[in-house]
Amino acid sequence: MNDAHLTSSAASRRLIKQLRHPTAWGARRIPDAPATERAAGSSPCIAQSRLRQNGFTLVEVTVSILFLGILIMGVSGLFFAAQRSLEDQARLLPLDSRLRGRMEEVISRPFAAITDGSEAITIGEQNYTVTWTVTQPDLDGDTVAETTAKQVTVSVDGRSLTTLVIDNQGKIGKI
pLDDT at 104: 92
pLDDT at 112: 86
Same domain, 113 and 170: yes
Count of domains observed in the chain: 2
Query: Could you give the C-alpha distances from 65 to 61, 62, 73, 75, in angstroms and in order?
Result: 6, 5, 12, 15
Collect the ranges in the chain with pLDDT lower than 50. Answer: 6, 46-49
Burial 109-143 (b: 16+ CB within 10 A, else e): eebeebeeeeeeeebeeeeeebebeeeeeeeeeee
pLDDT at 22: 56
Predicted TM-score (pTM) above 0.85: no
Identify the CA nearest to 156 among candidates 125, 116, 120. 120
Same domain, 159 and 102: yes
pLDDT at 157: 84
Same domain, 40 and 110: no
pLDDT tens-digit readout, 40-90: 555 555 444 455 557 889 999 999 999 999 999 999 999 999 999 999 888
Measured CA to CA, the distance from residue 108 to residue 153 in angstroms comes to 14
Containing structural domain, residue 156? 96-174
